[in-house]
Amino acid sequence: MQRTLAPKVSGWSVMLAWSAACTGGGGAQRPAASVAREPFGTTDQGAAVNVYTLKNAHGMEVRATSYGGIILSLKVPDRNGRFDDVVLGYDSLSDYQRASPYFGAIIGRYGNRIAGGRFTLDGRTYTLARNNGPNHLHGGLKGFDKVVWDVAPFEHPDSVGLVFRYRSPDGEEGYPGTLQATVTYTLTDRNELIFDYLGTTDRATPVNLTQHSYFNLAGDGKGDILGHVVTLNADHFTPVDSTLIPTGEIRAVAGTPFDFRTPTAIGARIAQDDEQLRYGRGYDHNFVLNKGGTGGSPGEGAALTLAARVYEPSTGRVMEIYTTEPGMQFYTGNFLDGTLRGKHGVVYRHRYGFAMETQHFPDTPNKPDFPSTTLHPGEQYRSQTIYKFAVQP
Ligand code: GLA
């Protein structure tokens, strides 16, 4: 699926706003979609960071920062039209810099784990930080979640958005090649938040970009997420060892607590005595999405298909996820333990949020049978994920 990515900004300074009525929508005047920028502080290293507020014509609002591309808040309506922030996070930049379990951030250069922090590519072995027990996780000590991105806002007749750009130098966090990464967030008037990922490199390198928002569709801080009803379009998942590295097996979900092919509450089976649930301390697994035969290697231009649907019964909020990626890590906030204090002083207790990280499979650089994550010079890494919000009675 192709979309126009070129930012369409001219003379942008502090605020852009327009009325949908001006764009030929006709009929009753709708609220203006807009994008605005404010300072969000300075990093410990002295870099200035901004926060951008996107609003669509229905009042849906996304706030995101140039630090890590972090989505700070995401306001969507419930079945009565009441808006709540449905993502976890912090109020201040210093909180994100101090200790964040990747709240809302862009993840790269390689989302998820690489076993032993090592891989071999074109006959050469690369050593990466072991920042998660014996393994490498989410790009290392200073992954794409902790860098300051260049941001260019844009406006289109039926959407607003932000283009994030980052040049990851050759050797950064141990990875080969200079990677030019571009991630576009688009908020549409169809209540979709679209993520487009592009990348190019000057040497072969593994690339696996994703977004790590934690959701609670009842509202941030409104209890655990065990009552959310999840449907996953996945007949298989990749079982893991005790350090959450895939064994290489592609296992059928049928007859296991990983079968979400029909709508099932997250909490319905999470406490079952199951080895995989023990290893993950709950769900923290990559699901192999049913793609109808399409591949999904970098540069291949895979099809956009439904990955997941989540329904929160008390508010009626629904989130659907569509992606070109072959996999999705479903993580149920098992490591949240009440030690982090988030926005407005909310304490994030066990399973107060879940993440659905669309991705290639974990540890692919060491798993030749998994769909490839190697990006070569001359190829374009290209990936798209859509979070679509709606309500249900
Ligand atoms: C991913 C990982 C989890 C955990 C979270 C952040 O979802 O798979 O194990 O690291 O990120 O805490």
Alpha-carbon 86 to chain mean position: 14
CA atoms of 99 and 145, how far apart (whole Å)? 12
pLDDT the model gives residue 236: 98
Distance between Cα 328 and ligand 1 center (Å): 12
Choose among 161, 193, 190, 156: nearest CA to 18. Answer: 156
CA atoms of 145 and 90, how far apart (whole Å)? 14
Count of Cβ atoms closer than 10 Å to residue 26 Cβ: 7
Task: DSSP letter for 135, please.
Answer: B
Mutate to test the pocket of ligand 1, among 70, 102, 354 (most ligand atoms within 8 A of CB): 102
211 touches 111 (CB < 8 A): no
Mapping DSSP to helix (H, G, I), strand (E, B) and coil, where does residue 277 land? Answer: helix
Task: Kindly report the protein residue whose alpha carbon is nearest to atom 7 of ligand 1.
Answer: 331
Q: Which pTM value belongs to this model?
A: 0.91
Task: Kindly report the protein residue whose alpha carbon is nearest to atom 9 of ligand 1.
Answer: 284
The tokens describing 43, both together, are: 């990093």
Residues in contact with 54: Cβ distance below 8 Å, sequence separation at least 6, in sequence order: 34, 35, 61, 62, 63, 64, 160, 161, 162, 185, 187
Mutate to test the pocket of ligand 1, among 96, 130, 138 (most ligand atoms within 8 A of CB): 138
CA atoms of 286 and 300, how far apart (whole Å)? 21
Catalytic pick from 138, 173, 357, 360?
Answer: 357
pLDDT the model gives residue 4: 30
Angle at 332 between CA 329 and CA 335, to 5 degrees: 105
Side chain identity at residue 190, one-letter code: R
Q: Which atom of ligand 1 is nearest the CA belonging to 137?
A: 10
257 touches 230 (CB < 8 A): no
CB-count burial class (<10 Å; 0-12, 13-18, 19+) for 22: exposed
Catalytic pick from 212, 228, 285, 360?
Answer: 212
CA atoms of 232 and 249, how far apart (whole Å)? 19
Distance between Cα 213 and ligand 1 center (Å): 11
Residues in contact with 205: Cβ distance below 8 Å, sequence separation at least 6, in sequence order: 109, 121, 175, 176, 177, 179, 374, 375
For ligand 1, which residues put their CB under 6 angstroms from it?
Answer: 101-102, 112, 137, 244, 284, 329, 331, 335, 355, 357
- DSSP class per residue in 334-365: TT--S-EE-GGG-EE-TTS-BEEEEESPTTGG
Q: What is the dihedral of CA 144, 342, 87, 184, to 10 degrees?
A: -30
Distance between Cα 204 and ligand 1 center (Å): 26
pLDDT the model gives residue 16: 39
Distance between Cα 284 and ligand 1 center (Å): 7
CA atoms of 200 and 219, how far apart (whole Å)? 37
CA atoms of 325 and 309, how far apart (whole Å)? 16
pLDDT per residue rounded down to tens, the chain (393 residues):
333 333 333 323 334 333 333 333 444 455 678 999 999 999 999 999 999 999 999 999 999 999 999 999 999 999 999 999 999 999 999 999 999 999 999 999 999 999 999 999 999 999 999 999 999 999 999 999 999 999 999 999 999 999 999 999 999 999 999 999 999 999 999 999 999 999 999 999 999 999 999 999 999 999 999 999 999 999 999 999 999 999 999 999 999 999 999 999 999 999 999 999 999 999 999 999 999 754 444 445 589 999 999 999 999 999 999 999 999 999 999 999 999 999 999 999 999 999 999 999 999 999 999 999 999 999 999 999 999 999 999
Distance between Cα 210 and ligand 1 center (Å): 12
Question: Is 212 designated active site?
Answer: yes
Question: Is 357 designated active site?
Answer: yes
Task: Kindly report the protein residue whose alpha carbon is nearest to atom 5 of ligand 1.
Answer: 101
Distance between Cα 331 and ligand 1 center (Å): 7
Mutate to test the pocket of ligand 1, among 130, 132, 137 (most ligand atoms within 8 A of CB): 137
